[in-house]
Amino acid sequence: MSARRQRYSTGNEFITVDEIDTSTGAIRDLAFLYESARGTIVLRGERGAFLKPRITIDGQPVSLENARWRLINHWIPAFTLATPAGVVECVYLAPVSRKGIAVRVSFEASRPVEAEIGFELNWRTTLHVCDSVRLMEGTRFCGCLEGSSSEGFFSLRLAWPLFAIGVAADPACESGDVHGASVPAGPLRRRFAHETPRITQKGEQ
């Protein structure tokens, strides 16, 4: 029997989604090309989790340890997890020619349940990779767009804003600060979650 694969990666011309942990579904690093920096910027998470799925069913967190992983068309990581309450599916997609990624999580219930599906962002360090790897120091910010709880941003500012990345959820969800809105050091965290109404029959949320 072959050993369980520990990680998957994907990406496109602009973005690399590196080291997706098959035991937690967490993305360890998110990297993108930055022309003016003549290299790559790497956003690294705390304890190996930059962006991590959070799934609860009837108030209990769901472990992804037993998820079954596969590659769609040889480059799109995806997993399926069968639980007593239903089936969880997740796909990690970096569309061609797009400066962004999409992570789609769905849950098909087999009995009446209450489920919450979301993500937790844990941004610890920023690296500049060119001929060597250098730590980038600055103040990190995160927040939501005015009038929206499911569309936000996170950015790094030195003497001026260096970059900003938008975050959006579909359908709309609630967002909450886990660790502040501006952080010069230590992890910056934000949670996005969509709580479904009680599912009374088999269906997808």
The enclosing domain of 138 has a CATH number of 2.70.98
CA 34 to chain centroid: 21
Q: Residue 55 is part of which domain span?
A: 7-204
- Whether residue 49 is contained in a domain is answered as yes
- Whether residue 2 is contained in a domain is answered as no
Domain total for the chain? 1
At 144, is the pLDDT very low, low, confident or very high (cuts 50, 70, 90)? confident
- Whether residue 101 is contained in a domain is answered as yes
Q: Which residue has the higher pLDDT, 23 or 170?
A: 23
- Whether residue 51 is contained in a domain is answered as yes
- Whether residue 75 is contained in a domain is answered as yes
Name which of 135, 130, 152 is nearest 143 in CA terms: 152
The Cα–Cα gap between 59 and 8 comes to 29
At 16, is the pLDDT very low, low, confident or very high (cuts 50, 70, 90)? very high
- Is the backbone peptide bond immediately before 61 cis, with ω within 30 degrees of 0? no
Given this model, what pLDDT does residue 142 score? Answer: 77
How does pLDDT run across 53-110, given as a tens digit for each residue?
Answer: 999 999 999 999 999 999 999 889 999 999 999 999 999 999 998 888 999 998 999 9
Tell me how long the chain is.
Answer: 205
Average pLDDT of 8-33? Answer: 92
Given this model, what pLDDT does residue 90 score? Answer: 95
- Whether residue 1 is contained in a domain is answered as no
- Whether residue 130 is contained in a domain is answered as yes
E strand spans, the chain: 7-11, 15-21, 27-34, 39-45, 51-57, 60-61, 68-72, 76-83, 86-93, 102-109, 115-129, 133-136, 139-144, 151-157, 161-168, 174-179, 182-183, 188-195, 203-204
Task: Kindly compute the dihedral angle of the four CA atoms of residues 111, 112, 114, 119, in this order, to the nearest 10 degrees.
Answer: 30
- Whether residue 107 is contained in a domain is answered as yes
The Cα–Cα gap between 179 and 186 comes to 9
For the cut 90, the answer to whether the pLDDT of residue 203 exceeds it is: no
Least confident of 8-12, 130-134, 143-147: 143-147
> What residue type is assigned to position 40 of the chain?
T
Least confident of 91-100, 153-162, 181-190: 181-190
Model pTM above 0.75: yes
Average pLDDT of 33-43? Answer: 87
For the cut 60, the answer to whether the pLDDT of residue 50 exceeds it is: yes
At 1, is the pLDDT very low, low, confident or very high (cuts 50, 70, 90)? very low
| Angle value at C-alpha 30, between 56 and 122, nearest 5 degrees | 45
Name which of 81, 108, 77, 110 is nearest 91 in CA terms: 77
Least confident of 45-49, 76-80, 107-111, 163-167: 163-167
Cα diameter, the chain = 56
